[in-house]
Chains A and B, each alone.
Chain A
Amino acid sequence: MSSRAAKVAVREAATTVLTVDQLHIDRLRSNRQAQTIVSSFSLSVAAGETVAIVGESGSGKSMTARAITGLLPPALVAKGEVSYGGRNLLSLKEREWRRIRGREIGLVLQDPFTMLNPVMRCGRILEESTLERGLSRKARRTAAIARLSEVGIHDPSVVERYPFELSGGMRQRVAIAAALARDPTVLIADEPSTALDVTTQREILSLIKSIQIARNMALILITHDLRVAFGMCDRIYVLYAGSLVETAPSAALESEPLHPYSHGLLLSEPPADYRMRELLTIPGAVPSPDEVADSCSFAPRCRWAAAACVQAKPPLEQVVPERLSACVRLHDIRGEMAAVRDRATGEVHAAVAISDEPSLIRVENIHKVFRRGNRRVVALEDVSIVIRPNESVGLVGESGSGKTTLARMLVGLEAATSGEIIIDGVSASNWADLTQKQKRRLRDSVQIVFQDPYSSLNPTLSIGATLNEAITTRDPRARNVSARAAELLDAVGLPAAYARRKPAALSGGERQRIAIARALAANPRILICDEPVSALDMSVQAQVLNLLSTLKRTHGLGLLFITHDLAIVRQMTDRLYVIYRGRIVESGTTAAVLDSPNDPYTIKLMASIPRADVGWLESTRTIGTGLPQVSAHSARSNSR
């Protein structure tokens, strides 16, 4: 904490390098009224300072970043002022922008998989971003290697490689090296770690942070994850539906948010180190800025909304020095919000009653090998797990660990290379060998909810048609199909009228509810949830997690929860398996494993969870990319 206080003091002395004042972004449409993307946004950042813009999808945060770098799509127009070096950047021409971008303001984007030109070698990408003319080939190569070593890539052969030959984390490093190649004064990082695994996320964030400190750069981090913002930033701007609702120093925001939206966002992010009594959800979904143009943008979803909130747009006003909030009722509800926080963050100890019922799913010594041409890829190696009825089991691992392959085997989308899967007494190692009757029995036992609700529903079928198909496929003689469909919709908390809609008309959270309803049509005893909330916004995540908890209680549903997110595992499961490179490395009750992990990989995972304390990012800096040793462990135990 003392270092943060020191930083704040430094910031006041330091000069502000970039200010954004009353930024307004519109999407122009040929024959209709312009659509607002961002209604008002102001920000200032000083050299050496880190600020975060936190918001959900649709909040306008990415478009704000693009406006600051002059990269708005053609139909979007920004008004207001972005001043840098005494100039208003918004009035620049494209040719003038090229002097600013990269040289003055660097940009790192979210997706390292599409950001780098796939037909260019990494060295070429770096050379292009420096654009120094007249250097010999050898000198350029040396410069590129030096750039790479700055971002922690010490292997000089990487300059000869193509982006597809690198892992996601390596690509993001190359992208960072390219963004930093001309020593910008301001770096904007738009969700730089969202597409990466937790352990890689920490490495990338700590890399950005250390370079920022070394160069005394101003850093604007755009993220949806409050905890990442707490760990990285000095100040936080909370953006909601195109307007700022709160700005505050990180520590102050973490201890007491002063706007119901930041309050709700904070509470809907589950903590990894204890199980919350309940996940507080924010009902509904993010509105478009135009829907809430003349009222508080959060009023439609706010439990404390009153007449005053919808009469006019509440201004962003100073509450205490350094803290601004756009809530007009703040003084009335501040105590209530604190009370809600105390209640919700109360810790519960899950009643760990490991049942000794016979297992419903038994996976024994499973191997899975994929053949790609001459290459053999071992996806799973000697994996054994057990799931009993009514049990919530977590399967935790990073991308490529084989966790999804295991899920796909359990529902018959892949066959095991060797080993045995027994579900409800039926041997299900290879579904192709089963009779129709056996397959039906398996489908009645196990169903699956996929990760991405945007592609798991057929876009051409209405919701009703999707559910009816699930019902009649299970029982071709089913009567009252539409009544049953309405029942399923009700079970997932949606009105029956949704049956007439198409998936495109639904939000991500609603689509995931439909996917759950479709799986429930078979009345399964175990529901496999493959990263069911990782594609959803934070406030919606909590809704879906709570729905799953409710279904577990009311339908006696067992869950196999597959995720990379330890916080979710903590909230949702009784027992867990940790999977790493196709092997189960640790298992046990959730509380026991997470409180005192034994396997080095589990320890590394635990240390990677974003935390507000300084140790979170520092522990990797000393260790680099290897497994953490004692120092990481002690940093973890010092937290909270």
Chain B
Amino acid sequence: MTEFAHAAEPPTTRTRRRGRLGVIVIFAFGVVGAVTVMAICGSLIAPDDPHAQNLAVSLAKPSHAHWLGTDSLGRDIFSRIIAGARTAFLGPLVIAAGSMVAGNALGLFAGYRGGRVDSFIMRWVDLMWAVPSLVVIIVVAGAVGGGYWLAVLLLLVLTIPFDTRVVRGAVLEQTPRPYVEAAKTIGVADARIMWKHIWPNVAPVAIANSFLVFAGALVTLSGLSFLGLGAPPGTPDWGLMLAEGQTLLFANPVATLAPGAMIVITAVSMNLIGDWTYEQLAGRGAER
């Protein structure tokens, strides 16, 4: 009985942790907000045309005219970073949203139904996990001809099993709870139980997980572009810029380090926002 009394009182540690994260979370939101604006507006807000070549000023150091310097073709790095936000943002967004929808549906179904449905879905998930994803992408992209959206599509398919597994785990924990059984005994339809009863209770996990998926997809897509399997050459893309700059790392470090830093900062910010969102959502409804 005393156990229930503890549950009724909000744990003090959580509020304290939330308070300490405040500044960092604001920073994370700032970064993601800025990247979002850059992704939407693209070259409209860039000081220069990101595609404009000017060999006269190639490999320039950061200056008033070119804030982050220029690359080997004399293109403005700062403008290319702004324009590159689009591929950095759009692909991961599609992957996170798509795998959230599909992964939640499959995870709910597998966890709630159990039995053969569960076995079938989870064996498929196991199979997908056993496949080395990078190899698959390299092979398929090599065979079909590559391209940014192909990479996005392949990553999406490979991410869905990850989401499915996480959501199923959370659903398995909710399904035997008395509130689900109570809904069954008053005759609520299964689809409604899954959507109206179970999903809101696993939502904190599912939504927070999607932020992590976003961050992971950003890094992986950049990696694929770096390997030449993502965005086509010439596109302003952070991963591609890394690849283009790597040979000139010591000649013009900023041109390489700036896109790399953007990838890291954006991914970390997304992870932090994911953690923060989980705390908020999980704190909203008391556990019991």
Set of chain B residues within 8 Å of A461, measured between Cβ atoms: 196-197, 200
- Cβ-based interface call for A548 (8 A): no
Tell me the bound Cα distance from A473 to B186 in angstroms. 7
B residues less than 8 Å from A502 (CB atoms): 285
Q: Determine which of A412, A459, A515, A537 lies in contact with B201 in the assembled complex, contact meaning CB atoms within 8 Å.
A: A459
Q: How far is the CA of A431 from the CA of B200 in the complex (A)?
A: 28
Closest to B2 in A: A62
B286 & A459 in contact (Cβ 8 Å cutoff)? yes
User: B8 → chain A, closest Cβ, in Å?
Assistant: 8
- Stretch touching chain A among B84-92, B98-106, B176-184: B176-184
Across the interface, do B182 and A191 meet the contact criterion of CB distance under 8 Å?
Answer: no
Residue of A nearest to B286 (CB): A504
Bound: A521/B16 CA distance, A: 43
B16:A30 contact, CB within 8 angstroms: yes
- Which chain A residues numbered 432 to 464 have a C-beta less than 8 Å away from chain B? 439-440, 443, 447-448, 450-452, 454-461
Does chain B have a CB within 8 A of A413?
Answer: yes
Kindly identify which residue among B12, B15, B19, B285 contacts A459, using a CB–CB cutoff of 8 Å: B285
Q: Is B4 an interface residue (CB 8 A)?
A: yes
Q: Across the interface, which residues of B come within 8 angstroms of A452, CB to CB?
A: 178
| Complex: A75 Cα to B12 Cα, angstroms | 7
Verify A443–B185 contact, CB threshold 8 A. Answer: yes
Does any Cβ of B come within 8 Å of A123's Cβ?
Answer: no
Interface assignment of B143: CB less than 8 Å from any CB of chain A: no
Report how far A469 CA is from B188 CA in the complex, Å: 8
Residues of A within 8 A of B8 (CB): 504
B136 in the interface, Cβ–Cβ < 8 Å? no
Question: Is there contact, CB below 8 Å, between A411 and B1?
Answer: no
Q: Give A472 Cβ to nearest chain B Cβ, in Å.
A: 10
Contact status B186-A470, CB under 8 Å: yes
Which B residue sits closest to A75, measured CB to CB? B12
Q: Which of A3-28 contact B (CB under 8 A)?
A: 27
- The answer to whether A227 has its CB under 8 Å from any CB of chain B is no
> Does B187 make an interface contact (CB < 8 A)?
yes
The answer to whether B182 and A518 have CB atoms under 8 Å apart is yes
Cβ–Cβ < 8 Å partners of A56 in chain B = 1
| Contact of A78 with B by CB under 8 A | no
Chain B 194-208 interface residues, beta-carbon cutoff 8 Å to A? 196-197, 200-201
Q: Which of B186, B201, B287 has the most CB of A within 10 A?
A: B186
A75, A443, A447, A454: the one within 8 Å of B4 (CB): A454
Residues of A within 8 A of B (CB-CB), count = 50
- The residue in chain B whose Cβ has the minimal distance to the Cβ of A515 is B182
Question: Which residues of A are found within 8 Å of B201, using beta-carbon distances?
Answer: 458-460
B288 touches A454 (CB 8 A): yes
Q: How far is the CB of B112 from chain A (nearest CB, A)?
A: 14
Task: Chain A residues near B130: list those with CB within 8 A.
Answer: none
B52 at the interface (CB under 8 A from A): no
Q: Once bound together, how far apart are the Cα atoms of A595 and B201, in whole Å?
A: 48
Question: Chain A residues near B185 (CB, 8 Å)?
Answer: 411-413, 443, 447-448
Instruction: From A29, A448, A455, A474, give the contact of B12 (CB < 8 A).
Output: A29
> In the assembly, what is the distance between CA of A461 and CA of B198, in Å?
11
B5 within 8 A of A: yes
- CA–CA, A72 and B177, complex, Å: 31
With CB as the reference atom, state the residue of chain A lying closest to B182. Answer: A456
CB of B207, distance to nearest CB on chain A (Å): 13
A30-B16, A57-B5, A62-B2 as given contacts; A450 in contact with B181, CB under 8 Å:
yes
Asked if B7 is an interface residue, CB under 8 A from chain A, the answer is yes
Are the CB atoms of B1 and A459 closer together than 8 Å? no
| Alpha-carbon distance between A503 and B200 when the two chains are bound, in angstroms | 14
| Complex Cα gap A194–B8 (Å) | 20
The CA of A423 and the CA of B23, in the complex, are separated in Å by 62
In the bound complex, CA of A345 to CA of B9 (Å): 37
Check if A458 sits within 8 Å of B187, measured CB to CB. no
Query: Contact: B1 with A473, CB < 8 Å?
Result: no
| Chain B nearest CB, measured from A153 CB (Å) | 27
CB–CB A508/B188 < 8 A? no
B152-196 interface code vs A (CB 8 A; 1 in, 0 out): 000000000000000000000000011101111111100000001
Chain B 15-59 against A: per-residue CB contact (8 Å), 1 yes, 0 no? Answer: 110010000000000000000000000000000000000000000
* Cα distance, A30 to B187, chains bound together (Å): 46
**Which chain A residues lie closer than 8 Å to B184 at the CB level?**
412-413
Contact B186 A447 (CB under 8 A): yes
Given A29-B12, A412-B185, A473-B186, A450-B178 contact (CB < 8 Å):
yes
What 5 A-B pairs are tightest by C-beta distance, nearest first?
A: A456-B178, A504-B286, A460-B200, A454-B288, A459-B285
Q: Give me 18 other A-B pairs in contact (C-beta within 8 A), A30-B15, A411-B185, A459-B179 excluded.
A: A57-B5, A62-B2, A194-B1, A443-B185, A443-B186, A448-B185, A451-B178, A458-B183, A459-B288, A460-B285, A469-B183, A469-B188, A473-B186, A473-B188, A474-B186, A504-B285, A504-B288, A519-B186
16 CB < 8 A contacts A-B: A30-B16, A56-B1, A57-B2, A411-B185, A443-B187, A455-B178, A455-B288, A456-B177, A458-B179, A458-B197, A459-B201, A459-B288, A460-B285, A461-B200, A469-B183, A521-B186
Instruction: Point out residues on A near B: beta carbons under 8 Å.
Output: 27, 29-30, 56-58, 61-62, 75, 110-111, 190-191, 194, 224, 408, 411-413, 439-440, 443, 447-448, 450-452, 454-461, 469-470, 473-474, 502-504, 508, 515, 518-519, 521-522, 535, 537
Which residues of B does A touch, CB under 8 Å? 1-5, 7-9, 12, 15-16, 19, 177-179, 181-188, 196-197, 200-201, 285-288
